[in-house]
Amino acid sequence: MDAGEKVMEIIAREQHLDPSKVTMDATFAELGIDSLDGVNILFALEEEFKIDIPDAVAQNMKSVRQVVDSLTRVLEGKDVSDLAAMAKGGTPAVSN
């Protein structure tokens, strides 16, 4: 199973969604994933892959494909600072 399939499986599991609905092209908005759900999915990914996903990278994840791309790069140990830069001004997980 590649990272993409695993990500889709985890998103479906954490969101209690029919796995067929979770496609590579689906956005978080389409899947009804709000910011707190997003934090929960990141946590599940971190647990599954035994990695840390930095906050600045996390803020850039708004679709299944973005999650897979970012995750792949974190797994390959690549520099993710450009993702962090892109996330500047992005939406945070939660408020208050």
Partner 1 sequence: MRRVVITGMGVFSSTGKNRDPFFQSLVQGRSGVRTISQFDSSSLSIKIAAEIADYNPEDYFPSKRLDVLDKFAQFALIAAREAMASSGIAIREEERPRFGVVMGSGMGGAGSYDAGYHNLYAKQATRLHPFTIPRIMHNAATSHICMEFGAQGPALATATACSSSGHAIGEAFHLIKFGLADVMLAGGADAPITYGVMRCWEAVRVLSSGNGNPATACRPFSADRRGMVIGEGSGVLLLEELDHATRRGAKIYAELAGFGMSSDASHITQPTVDGPARAIRMALDEAGHRPEEVDYINAHGTGTRLNDSTETQVIKAVFKDHARKVAISSTKSMHGHMMGATGAAELVATVMALERGVIPPTANYTQPDPECDLDYVPNQAREKPIRVALSNSFAFGGLNAVLLVRRWG
Q: Are 26 and 35 in contact (CB under 8 A)?
A: no
Q: Are 41 and 67 in contact (CB under 8 A)?
A: yes
| Residue choice 23, 27, 43, 81 for contact with partner 1 (CB under 8 A) | 43
Based on the residue annotation, tell me whether 2 is a catalytic residue of this protein: no
- Using CB under 8 A as the binding criterion, the count of chain residues that bind partner 1 stands at 17
| Residue choice 39, 44, 84, 86 for contact with partner 1 (CB under 8 A) | 39
The structure tokens listed for 36 are 């707190």
Catalytic entry in 2, 25, 34, 79 = 34
User: Is there binding between residue 42 and partner 1 (CB under 8 A)?
Assistant: yes
Single out the residue of 46, 27, 28 nearest to residue 37, CA to CA: 28
Return the range that interacts with partner 1 (CB under 8 A); candidates 4-12, 13-21, 33-41, 78-86. Answer: 33-41
How many helices, marked H, and strands, marked E, lie in the chain? Answer: 5, 0
Q: Rounded to an integer, what distance in angstroms lies between the CA atom of residue 71 and that of residue 53?
A: 8
User: Is there binding between residue 90 and partner 1 (CB under 8 A)?
Assistant: yes
User: Is there binding between residue 67 and partner 1 (CB under 8 A)?
Assistant: no
Applying CB under 8 A, which residues contact partner 1? 34-36, 39, 42-43, 52, 55, 58, 89-96
